[in-house]
Structure 1
Amino acid sequence: MTTENKIPTAAELWATREPTPFHATSLFFDIRGSTHLLTHLGEQPLARILQVFFGEAIPATEEEGGTVLHFSGDGALVLFTGENAVDAAVRAALRLIDIARHRVTQKIPQTAEGVFGLLGHDGIDITVGIDTSLIYGVAVGRAPEPLVSWTGRGVHTAAKLSRLAPPDTIAITQESVSARRTVAPPAGSSRMRFEVGGEERVVYVTSAAKH
């Protein structure tokens, strides 16, 4: 089976009826403390926060070349392919953190006081995990519009890192750093080790405040 460097469509996956591998950089972002916000702000204010955040976050990732493939609660999986995939993912991650910290309460100022009282700062907290490896797409359901399941180490590692990293940081694996065209960790990053999937991984964690 040929491994490609592009994201297969649902129709292509359905036609093969087999798990299809491709190389990609996975970016998973997740809002921190959403349960805490729900408890103290209420359902409707939190829903409005999510609406504003995703309304700006999704176009931002797409502008950097990402493809949003999957939502999971208050997080999302975005894939990047091509020669500059990792650098594009890092740029998207920085934009996501900026949107979370500054744009949300600017657009809905009535929530600013409540968010500040809960978190101690303006805006909401998010974390971002990035990994570069093989991804598999699997078509499920039935034609003409089958659903697609995305799996592979990159997807699961990126999601796990987004849960382990401190708020407002980007956790990027050694594999992704090695794949960067700049061949260096993101500026201002610190080298850490996290256990992901039963194995210890070298991870670089960088704060958006340092960019």
Structure 2
Amino acid sequence: MSALPLIFTSGWASGINAYAVVLLLGLMGATGATDEVPLSLQRTDVLVVAALLFLCEAVADKIPYLDSVWDVVHTVIRPVAGAVVAALLAGHDGSLPQVAAAAVGGSTALVTHLVKTGTRMAVNTSPEPVSNIVLSLTEDLGVAALVVLALFHPVAAALVAGAVLVAGITVVIFLFSRIRRFWRRRKELRAARRKGTPATA
């Protein structure tokens, strides 16, 4: 499948910010920068919705704890988006290559999403918001850079995306103790709120 490197990279990027992937691919196709983008992603209504959702994510993704809630909500959305984008990039409606492409895009997006979610939980153990903002901006820039690179140099982009994904998995394993601390802190906060309820009634 000649489109496999592009499909893999788009799946990786969708696991981080699916709306940015749809918006960027659509804009690149609509402006004539590339012929690799299917027309369905270039539609005005798709671009408008993707832009609005991207703006929502750009805000939510930089606020401690809200970013983790946003990630949990997108546990289904990002893999599905990765699968849909991959299927569209593969073309050939209903064909086995298209189904395989959807599987690659969706599974890659799921793994990347889990890495992102785990990393954010670890970062949220720190009380300051600067790390969230820096990490979010880094992710956005990385998605933009690799999606554009994938349209013109798909193999190189796929290799970079693969390396980043492996590095991310390694980091999450290393930060597992911090992630457990994050969940412990959430449980303690919930318990404290429950105890405080009668006193405020």
Higher relative contact order (CA 8 A, sep 6+): 2
Higher strand share: 1
Higher helix share: 2
TM-score (norm 1): 0.33
Q: Over alpha carbons, which structure has the higher Rg?
A: 2
